[in-house]
Amino acid sequence: MKIKMLFTVLALSAIVFTSCEDNKKKEQAEKERMEQMEAEKEAEMQAEKEKMEMESNSIAAKAMETDTLSTLVTALKAAELAEMFKTEEGPFTVFAPHNAAFNKVDKATLESLLKPENKEKLADVLKYHVVSGEVTSQQLVQAIQDNDGKYEISTVGGGKLVASIEGENVILTDENGNKATVVMTDVDASNGVVHVIDAVVMKKA
């Protein structure tokens, strides 16, 4: 009888022990699941924070903060490129014509480019001012000097610009032989760098 009772107690103890172990495993699994969810939430929040910081310091944001680049901002929006320079990591180098540069463009031509039906043409013009990769003014000057005074730049728009130095200025010559002077350099952005120029450059028609 005592042996039977002993077996019963042992059996019950085993059941209780197994049940406790199962509960512990469940609790551990739940704890790990909650920790993973918390870690994922924190990672998402961090990614969103970094995205907001990137966008607030992007090329588009820098342009929008600069009064003398308001026409360029209008053009970027019309060509549906503002979002690209806001959200894409790049990096890009943008030779940004200031307002007075756009004023030199034939008024009828500029008005035509800003029309919704011509947004692809406008985008093509604007991309001719953009280079893939980040090129600081120091790197650009060095490249000009290393290439016998003329450095050919391939643009995102598919055309070429030739950079040279005249006096103390860096000059960009477009495919039509027209020149633009770099008047402000190294406006640092989260997705690249902006150099302001005093003329709108154009690809060969």
Q: Which residues contact 147 (CB under 8 A, 6 or more apart)?
A: none
3-state secondary structure (DSSP) of residue 90: coil
Segment 88-112 shows an average pLDDT of 91
Q: What is the pLDDT of residue 57?
A: 79
Please give the residue that has the higher pLDDT: either 87 or 8. Answer: 87
pTM for the whole structure: 0.73
User: 82 vs 105, 126, 127, CA distance in Å?
Assistant: 21, 11, 12
User: 144 vs 140, 150, 199, CA distance in Å?
Assistant: 6, 5, 20
Residue with tokens 């053009």: 75
Q: How far apart are CA 51 and CA 97, in angstroms?
A: 27
Which domains are present in the chain? 57-197 (2.30.180.10)
Q: What is the pLDDT of residue 28?
A: 78
Q: Could you tell me the pLDDT band of residue 54, with boundaries at 50, 70 and 90?
A: low
Q: What is the pLDDT of residue 35?
A: 75
Q: Which residues contact 7 (CB under 8 A, 6 or more apart)?
A: none
pLDDT at 183 over 60: yes
